[in-house]
Amino acid sequence: MNAVTRSIKIAPSLLAADFAQIKDQIELVESAGADLLHLDSMDGRFVPNLTWGPKIVADLRKLTKLPFDCHLMIVEPEKYVDDFRKAGADYITFHYEATPHAHRLLQYIRSIGAKAGVGINPGTPVSMLQDLIEDIDLLLVMSVNPGFGGQPFIERALTKLHEARKLRDERNPNCEIEVDGGIGLANIERAVSAGADVLVGGSSIFGAADPQATLRDMRARARATRG
Ligand code: DX5
Ligand code: ZN
């Protein structure tokens, strides 16, 4: 297949932001060059934590033009994708482990005009996506167990990024590969070398003394690595 030019994207995760100052926090990362905003919805069932649903996403939609990368850590995601799309989600990523009908759901998400993403937990091999890859716009390799920010990066994710890139290059070159969990200045170059195109950063960005400088540095290192 022909080579496809994919740009590196940095996606700050609002999970680590201060919601009492959310407008300022979004402006901070937007003006520092964020490419996407990563929004983590958790239901207390798929993961042992709770965050927000479509109402909050719709309210945040009024604050920025950045594309919304909605990461659904919820069981039965098929029940909620319409609501997230109406709320302004540009990418809708559900978990492979959260539904028996990943194939149908990927096609449905595309049919409502969003980019269709599927994520895999650290315990799920990339090979489980063999029969889905043509229907995936964003393949999310989790590099921590989902549910919480601030956890250490699981090194095995680098092998999985290699495997994901191989599968993508062979079968669906337009698909982007995202990595989420424990990404920061210490490992962003290795994640990009392994195959990541979209880098999620929560605590590494919002928890930094200078979030804007950190984001710019992450972006510069990632782009220099990709070349
Ligand atoms: C975790 C979420 C992540 C989280 C990452 O389940 O999916 O998006 O915000 O946080 P950090 O970057 O702190 O690991
Ligand atoms: Zn996430």
CATH number of the domain at 196, please.
Answer: 3.20.20.70
Residue 122 inside a domain? The answer is: yes
Residue 3 inside a domain? The answer is: no
Residue 16 inside a domain? The answer is: yes
Residue 43 inside a domain? The answer is: yes
Q: What is the pTM of this model?
A: 0.98
**For atom 6 of ligand 1, which residue has the closest CA?**
146
Q: Which residues of the chain have pLDDT under 50?
A: none
Distance CA 207, CA 79 (A): 33
| Ramachandran class of 182: left when φ > 0, alpha when ψ lies in -120 to 50, beta otherwise | left
Distance 52 CA to ligand 1 centre (A): 14
Amino acid letter, 119: G
Closest ligand by atom to 148 CA: 1
* CB contact at 8 A, 182 and 152: yes
Residue 1 inside a domain? The answer is: no
Phi, psi of 213 (to 5 degrees): -65, -40
> Given this model, what pLDDT does residue 30 score?
98
> Given this model, what pLDDT does residue 6 score?
83
Q: What is the pLDDT of residues 176-201, one digit of tens each?
A: 999 999 999 999 999 999 999 999 99
Residue 4 inside a domain? The answer is: no
Range of the domain at 51: 9-226
Residue 40 inside a domain? The answer is: yes
Residue 2 inside a domain? The answer is: no
Write out the two tokens for 214. 């950190």
**Is ligand 1 within 6 A of the CB of residue 200?**
yes
The ligand 1 atom at the shortest distance from the C-alpha of residue 47 is 6
> Given this model, what pLDDT does residue 2 score?
55
- The number of domains in the chain is 1
